[in-house]
Structure 1
Amino acid sequence: MHVLVATAVPVERDAVARAFAAAADEGRVLLGSADAAPGAGGRGRPVIDLVAVGVGPARAAATTASALTTAARDGAPYGLVVSTGIAGGFAPHAPVGSLVVADEITAADLGAETPDGFLPVTELGFGTVTHRPPEALVREAAAATGARTGAVLTVSTVTGTAVRAARLRARHPTALAEAMEGFGVAEAAAAHGTPVLELRAVSNPVGPRDRAAWRIGDALAALTEAFGKLTPVLESWHPHDR
């Protein structure tokens, strides 16, 4: 299977690459270029392409869509897209250092503010706000990595106050983490009929921005370790297992 792994920035991409490089050395996967050049086929091994798609849902969607279109045009379409990187976690449900696999990928701020509160775009009569990864894949990924499962919210503005964190959690009671790209990646994947998975390593709590409390290095290390454990799942999973 041909897999596209999408991170926001190169440092996240490189953390994932370290895990796949070990698997490639063992002949278990074929690791593509960091620019997501379509793989040439792996004699039964999954072909993994890595790309830093940019920050925010719009840029992530555009870059992911371009990679998907190029791969399909060249006769090597992707069978799975994985959105990944570091994220904020909703304490105490997803503490710093933990891993989260999304059972739903939701755009948390796509909609309208009203006198009665926030309305998602779906309640305005159009669009979509949630994509759901394949249940079997979510279970297998969580079991392999030890991740918690729950909603991962996509936001265009990172939460910086306890008040907003509480409001998001009240609107999305299963939310474990907040990031900025998952929904954009999922939108592009859905347009191509390709399943999506989101896995995040928690680097900081959602809420007041206390940079001294951030553990970005630890989260990146957790990301590398997680993908080392996830590789066998990708080796055995097929799109028809949805």
Structure 2
Amino acid sequence: MNILVVTAVPAERDAVTRAFGPDESAVTVLAGGVGPAAAAASTARALATGTYGLVVSAGIGGGFAPVAPLASVVVADAVVAADLGAETPEGYVPVTGLGFGTVEHRPPAALVRALADATGATTGTVLTVSTVTGTAARAAELRARHPRAAVEAMEGFGVAEAAALFGLPVLEIRAVSNAVGPRDRDAWRIGDALAALTGAFGKLRAVTEGWTPHEHDAHEHGHGAGGPG
């Protein structure tokens, strides 16, 4: 099975490719750009010109303490667009609450469990945002709306939307470089997170070898209800 891995930036792409030998031809890794729109466009272009059985969004991200500490790895069991919606006097309403769209994609549960077991990763909701959280209040708001949130990143939902268009299952794998909340660059552990990402992808081929998605998993694209992640 051929696998497409989409990261945001070259440093993440390189961390993933370091996990594979020089003769690995079944995994294509590309740096698709920052944010859900760039990620969706890059993923769709790659899927239109290649044949793949699985799409993976990968990179580093912010972890919600204490669920996802620095340098840990999270495998998403839900990929959620956290700020795709509207502000109202009663509070935030996801786009699904307005009567249209999708805000959540579910990766294949069996594959998530197998990869988490192999890597020692945590599973949980990975939130896709267009604006990175920089305050404790915003972090608390996101956790209130998404009680199972483990990581915040910027590309997963875009990758998942493109994969859904092609009827393909999606994974999201994130290594934690910083805590979600007030931005303290001195406390970030980007190098450690990239190393953890390499380690996780070192187990990916063994987990996916021979794996065939069930019909339900392959086509479980989006959930319109927009409930808590």
* TM-score where L is the length of structure 1: 0.87
CA RMSD of aligned residues (A): 1.0
- Give 1:232 deviation, angstroms: 0.3
Could you report, residue by residue, the CA deviation over 1:48-71 in whole angstroms, capped at 9, with x for unpaired residues? 111101000000000000000111
Structure 2 residue 44 is the aligned partner of structure 1 residue 70: no
Distance 2:181 2:165 in 1: 33
Tell me the equivalent position of 1:2: 2
- Give 1:93 deviation, angstroms: 1.0
Which one of 79, 82, 86 corresponds to residue 105 of structure 1? 79
- The structure whose residues are more often helix, as a share, is 1
Tell me the equivalent position of 1:175: 149
Could you report, residue by residue, the CA deviation over 1:204-233 in whole angstroms, capped at 9, with x for unpaired residues? 000000000000000000011111122201
Tell me the equivalent position of 1:37: none
- Give 1:169 deviation, angstroms: 0.4
- Contact in 2 for aligned 1:4/1:81 (Cα 8 Å): yes
Structure 2 residue 114 is the aligned partner of structure 1 residue 140: yes
Distance 1:134 1:229 in 2: 17
- Give 1:239 deviation, angstroms: 2.8
Q: Please, which moves more after superposition, 227-236 or 202-211?
A: 227-236
Unaligned runs of 5+ in 1: 32-46, 72-76
Distance 1:227 1:63 in 2: 21
Report percent identity of matched pairs: 72
How many pairs are equivalent? 216
Unaligned runs of 5+ in 2: 218-229
Moved over 6 A (4+): none
One-letter identity of the residue aligned with 1:48: V
* TM-score where L is the length of structure 2: 0.92
Alignment of 1:124-135 (within 5 A): 124-135=98-109
Structure 2 residue 36 is the aligned partner of structure 1 residue 60: no
Distance 2:205 2:177 in 1: 22
Which one of 159, 174, 186 corresponds to residue 185 of structure 1? 159
Matched position secondary structure for 2:209 = helix
The higher radius of gyration belongs to 1
